[in-house]
Amino acid sequence: MVYAVKELFYSLQGEGAQAGRAAVFCRFSGCNLWSGREEDRVGAVCSFCDTDFVGVDGPGGGRYASAAELVRAMVDLCPERAMADLCPERAESRGLAVCTGGEPLLQLDAPLVDALHRSGFQVAVETNGTRPLPPGLDWVCVSPKAGAGLAVTSGDELKVVFPQDGIDLEALSGLAFRHHFLQPMAGRDEDAHTAAAVRYCLDHPRWRLSLQQHRKLGIP
C-alpha cells in the first residue's frame, strides 16, 4: 500500500476530549465528500471544509511506499523528550498519533495501525464516519456530515460541526459515543455559530462545546 500524505506535523490536539494533548498528526490526502477543489465546492456533499487536503506537497507530505516508512517519518517528528515517553510497556505514557485528513479511512489500514502500535503510539482517527474502521484503533472521533450516511455509529467522540442543515442532533445524541461535542462552524458567521452552540449545549447538557484551540493559539 502506498500512502498519500498531505502533511505530517507535531502539535497539540486542538479539539474535543483530547484537546491540549501533544500528538503527531498525519493528514492523509483526499476525501470522499469533496474533491478539495473550489470549483467543486457547490454541489459537494460536504461544502464547508476549511482544510487543504489536496496533493502531497505539505511539510512531511509525500507518497510513502510502506507503513514502516510512514511511521518512521512520524517518529522522527517527536522531539527527544516525547520519544522518551514512547514506551510500549506503559500504555498511559505512549505518544499519540492522530490520523486525519481529508478522509483518513480511505487509506488507514490494519498494517499501518499495527506499525504505529509497534512504535509505541496510541492511534486516534478523525473521520467523517462514512467508511468502516480498521481494527485496533485506540480512539475514534466521528464528525458526521449532513447527507452522508454513517458507517461508524459508535466510538469515543462524536464531534458535530454546528450548525449544519439536515443534521439530526436528537438522533445523533442516541449513538454510542463516550463524548458528544458541538463545534461551531468557522468562517464569516463564527460568532453567531458559537453563540448558537453555547445555547444548544446549555439546553442539552449531553452535548459539550468544542472550540478549535489550535486556531486561537496560531499553531497547526
**Site residues (vs ligand SF4, CB under 6 A):** 31, 33-34, 46, 49, 51, 53, 101-103, 128, 145
Which residue spans within the chain are E strands per DSSP?
Answer: 3-12, 22-28, 62-64, 95-100, 121-127, 139-142, 154-162, 176-184, 207-209
One of 7, 9, 26, 46 is an active-site residue; which one?
A: 46
Minimum CB separation of residue 31 from ligand SF4 in Å reads 3
One of 25, 53, 121, 177 is an active-site residue; which one?
A: 25
- 33 or 175, CB closer to ligand SF4? 33
- 11 or 66, CB closer to ligand SF4? 11
> What span, in angstroms and rounded, lies between the C-alpha atoms of 64 and 62?
6
| Side-chain-facing half-sphere of 12: CA atoms under 13 Å | 15
Could you confirm whether 31 is annotated as catalytic?
yes
One of 26, 31, 141, 201 is an active-site residue; which one?
A: 31
14-38 residues labelled b (16+ CB within 10 A) or e (exposed): bbbbbeeebbbbbbbbbbbbbebee
- 94 or 145, CB closer to ligand SF4? 145
Minimum CB separation of residue 78 from ligand SF4 in Å reads 25
Residues marked active site are found at: 25, 31, 46, 49-51, 126, 214
